[in-house]
Structure 1
């Protein structure tokens, strides 16, 4: 790690021995997630004479990769302050170890709760509004002289605290651009999950803030349908299920298994037909130019919840919904 980076972020450095103690020597019982490039552990860390619940992301792979990810996440998160972003506690750069420490969020990721029947529509909506607020902040905050493209928006990167408040995480692939280039295309090398990546990136190799909005649209469909956008393989990566949206939605929609597993979801879904969901989705040739972040989304949380309000799903399709009811009106 460069000496300038280490000096600039010296206040965030945590000794390896402290992290080793916090995670019980990186015990398998503390392991809560892993991939080919990282292992994630829970633990309790003594910090400022207080025990705090933490998550330690232990980076794997080549040293160049680990160094780049650590620098991007620490430099990014230490300069961002927003209630809907994950809190970074510190990092470790000793020997061959590159570890990033975050505050532990009690309810884990949104991905784990997609099919949870106890997660109400109001909670689901508030979670999505939290993501919209986080994206609005990293894309457009006027107090900063730079903008950020997350480049890896998906339900597994949306964490939930003890009160189900949204905490956006996963900034390892994020791209920092100057405020002047905020609305321009930027060359990037995305490594995110295929099913969440904007098709226009695959054609051009360029990203913009609309790239994040496309991925957010996929998450909105996951929340609406109560299922992931892809089927994980047994080891690292995912199985590409393919198919049209109509076929993918049709796999679970209204099936006995889905009804049994998610009775309250099925109840609320009954007001929206499969055709509604398909019509709300993109055409075959749609690109991120069709996406936008409606200002009204950020204002939903401040409205009278007894009123009916629009929820922009994506691509111009709109559903009007009354919170805590199954009253959906197709527009």
Structure 2
């Protein structure tokens, strides 16, 4: 029998109070505008539904360079996600989670300031830059992301864990050493960790291609929803294809799993990896992904 835990879309601070808070600085929009030359497009390093992300220089911080996410003033999703991000990241500490440095809240002018990740997103390396990542690099990235996700689910130091709800390759960022850090907690939800089968009833949100079918059809969110999405990321890393590949008749998850069941594993792996992976490593990786 499943225990239903209802939860509204706004995370309450009491959910995670036992965890220590990180110092979170309040910036003025003037400071952030100065750091980005008036939010000049030449410093834009990313864009999402809620706004753009800029590379910025702030001289009196612990480092000089930061990622500044400015929310679009017309975004209905932006403000709730903004406060969830602040709420989550000010209370979570792990080497495989992106650190929140501070925020700006001046009416319609809202922004989040994160540590800067010089190697961008995992998605960009595979699907935009065409970076050739060897098998060891890919394994290191996947293991780092898995550790961050495991911490969210079980290791936050409280009886409540965090369900990310939007695990995907574009939310896995890479530092100067290609170490992986999970980012973007705007859709995250709090859920009990002491009962494996407990779920949170919530509006269905996430990204198609990574979304757990059970969650999509029932609205019952569990840690397994994140695990499903992470499995899609693993297939993406192995195959070198996006989760929604226009050249396929179905999503990557279905396409890859069907061919794995048929024993066509060597036909679906990234062509740049062939003859560069041991059979035992590939077998174990595939088993984990499936």
Tell me the TM-score normalized by structure 1. Answer: 0.69
1:252-273 Cα shifts (integer Å, max 9, x gaps): x869xx9xxx76324447x88x
1:151 to 153, 165, 173: 165
- What is the rounded CA distance, in whole Å, between the counterparts of 2:218 and 2:197 in structure 1? 16
1:176 counterpart SS class = strand
Match of 1:187 in 2: 201
- What is the rounded CA distance, in whole Å, between the counterparts of 1:316 and 1:72 in structure 2? 29
Consecutive unaligned residues of structure 2, counting only runs of 5 or more, are 1-11, 14-20, 261-265
Matched, 1:214 2:228: yes
Consecutive unaligned residues of structure 1, counting only runs of 5 or more, are 233-238, 273-306, 318-331
Match of 1:311 in 2: 284
2:66 counterpart SS class = strand
Residues matched between the structures, number: 263
Higher RCO, Cα 8 Å, sep 6+: 2
- What is the rounded CA distance, in whole Å, between the counterparts of 1:203 and 1:193 in structure 2? 14
1:234-277 Cα shifts (integer Å, max 9, x gaps): xxxxx995365069979xx869xx9xxx76324447x88xxxxx
Tell me the TM-score normalized by structure 2. Answer: 0.78
- Maintained 8 Å contact 1:105/1:161: yes
RMSD: 3.4
- What is the rounded CA distance, in whole Å, between the counterparts of 1:254 and 1:35 in structure 2? 33
- What is the rounded CA distance, in whole Å, between the counterparts of 2:203 and 2:126 in structure 1? 29
1:215 counterpart SS class = helix
Matched, 1:40 2:41: no
CA distance change for structure 1 residues 181 and 174 in 2, over 3 Å: closer, same or farther? farther
CA distance change for structure 1 residues 218 and 187 in 2, over 3 Å: closer, same or farther? same
Match of 2:111 in 1: 99
Matches within 5 A, 1:17-96: 17-48=30-61, 52-60=64-72, 62=74, 65-96=77-108
- What is the rounded CA distance, in whole Å, between the counterparts of 2:167 and 2:284 in structure 1? 19
1:242 to 250, 265, 277: 250
Matched, 1:123 2:137: yes
- Maintained 8 Å contact 2:232/2:289: no
- What is the rounded CA distance, in whole Å, between the counterparts of 2:24 and 2:236 in structure 1? 39
- What is the rounded CA distance, in whole Å, between the counterparts of 2:284 and 2:184 in structure 1? 25
CA distance change for structure 1 residues 106 and 241 in 2, over 3 Å: closer, same or farther? farther
